[in-house]
Amino acid sequence: MTRHLGAGQGALLRTELEMRQRRLDQILSAHQEGASRAEHAHALLAQDEDGARRHAMDREVDMARSDLEIAELGAISRALLRMNQGDYGLCADCGAEIPFDRLKAEPQAERCVPCESKHESQQQPAYAGRTL
């Protein structure tokens, strides 16, 4: 743990990260089950033009959501890894200490606020406005 976080704060953030990781794991496996069920329904609806089209749209939305969840899960795994390495809570770009208040809201945050906004303005539109 980095020096600017106390032991209690570190423990709290680790618990928060592990909780989010478990929750996302559950959401993602539910999505996978949903997708195979949807595939089956799609086969049944093959003759129904309208149903098939509506279905394709549902699936797109579902996949976009999964992408975000996979990205968040990746960030959480990286945060837990950094925690084990002892450099958690330091900005990946400038090395500044990320304040505890920011980490409490986004325990997987990899950057300080100024670097995060710079980073986000370079991201694809689909990810804009999302704070990590």
Sites of contact with Zn ion (CB under 5 A): 91, 93-94, 96, 112, 115
Cβ 68 to Zn ion shortest distance, Å: 23
Cβ 44 to Zn ion shortest distance, Å: 52
| Cβ–Cβ under 8 Å, residues 31 and 64 | no
Residue carrying structure tokens 């609806």: 45
**Nearest residue (CB) to Zn ion, 38 versus 115:** 115
Question: Alpha helices of 45-112 — where are they, by DSSP H?
Answer: 49-85, 100-105
Cβ 107 to Zn ion shortest distance, Å: 17
**Nearest residue (CB) to Zn ion, 35 versus 115:** 115
Largest CA distance in the chain: 63
| Cβ–Cβ under 8 Å, residues 91 and 112 | yes
**Nearest residue (CB) to Zn ion, 70 versus 94:** 94
